[in-house]
A and B are shown apart, each in its own frame.
Chain A
Amino acid sequence: MGDLNEFPLAVRLFLKAYPWRKIDPVPWTPLKKPLTRSRLALITSAAFVLPEQKPFDESIRGGDYSFREIPGDADVHKLVESHRSESFDHTGIHRDPNLAFPIDRARELAERGRIGSVNRRHLSFMGSITAPGRLIRQSAPDAARWLVEDAVDIALLVPV
């Protein structure tokens, strides 16, 4: 179950005490067109990288706020997971990266017409960012700019 009790005591205490950034006001974009005509982008926080890409850096204080571009035609089984967190079981996403980056599922949705199309690129972040200032000021606006340029309509965000 997705529950704080999954974690060791130290992590539970940290999560309880952590000053989470409250989104306020909450921005809202209603669906502008039917899903059958919408373009989907995926965003994962599983720290997936392509073999030739730089892995995420666990040594950055406050968390690595960068992101990687994963091309829409990437072979999901060639993705390398570079999330070093010991707070979750990595076995599942190693066996099947679709579990946290469901690109094969997205292609199937497009093939059967549930969505209009799958974007030409997707984004991979590494979760566990404890100091999100640079994410808010830099990475998230950059990510949004990319996806706006691509005329993306909808995004599915999948954490680990």
Chain B
Amino acid sequence: MSLVAAELERRGISTVAIQLLREVAERVRPPRALFVPFRHGYPLDRPNDPPRQHAVIEAALKLLEDPSLIPPSLADFTVNHCLPGGA
């Protein structure tokens, strides 16, 4: 996925990639990534739980909006993102 993200960025599309393995993200270096503390197979946390899925997606969208990031940028999704009023 990181290699696809890189190609899209080269072609002028801003990307953000969910990442399940920090070690891999640090080695491959996708341009803009959100590391999530979930099991493989559960990248957006829980099935049939739109609010939780939206919380992860919103955190990813915020990375796209952050003009202070420099590549490669790997951010952590924290439990605070899931709390009411969380970022």
Contacts from A to B (Cβ < 8 Å):
1-4, 6-7, 15, 20-24, 26-32, 35, 41, 43, 45, 87-93, 95-96, 98-100, 102, 104-105, 108-109, 114-115, 125, 127, 132, 135-136, 139-141, 143-145, 147-148, 152-160
Q: Give chain A residues whose Cβ lies under 8 Å from the Cβ of B13.
A: 29, 41, 144, 147-148, 152-155
**What CA separation (Å) do A143 and B13 show in the bound complex?**
11
Using CB atoms, name the residue of chain B closest to A94: B47
Contacts from B to A (Cβ < 8 Å):
1-24, 27-32, 35-48, 50, 53-54, 57-58, 60-61, 64-65, 67, 70-72
How near does chain A come to B71, taking the closest CB pair, in angstroms?
Answer: 4
- The residue that A87 contacts in the complex, of B2, B15, B40, B65, with Cβ under 8 A, is B40
**What CA separation (Å) do A125 and B8 show in the bound complex?**
15
Q: Secondary structure of the B side of the interface?
A: mixed
Contact B8 A144 (CB under 8 A): yes
A88-B1 CB under 8 A given contacts A26-B72, A27-B9, A35-B65:
no
Contact A157 B53 (CB under 8 A): no
Using CB atoms, name the residue of chain B closest to A104: B50
Q: List 10 A-B contacts (CB under 8 A).
A: A31-B64, A41-B13, A45-B1, A98-B53, A99-B45, A125-B4, A127-B1, A144-B8, A154-B13, A154-B64
Contact B40 A160 (CB under 8 A): yes
How near does chain B come to A105, taking the closest CB pair, in angstroms?
Answer: 5
Contact B4 A43 (CB under 8 A): yes
**What CA separation (Å) do A102 and B29 show in the bound complex?**
24
A2-B12 CB under 8 A given contacts A20-B24, A22-B28, A30-B67:
no
How near does chain A come to B77, taking the closest CB pair, in angstroms?
Answer: 10
Contacts A23-B3, A155-B16, A159-B43 known; 9 new A-B pairs at CB < 8 A = A2-B36, A2-B39, A28-B9, A31-B67, A32-B14, A105-B44, A115-B61, A140-B8, A159-B20
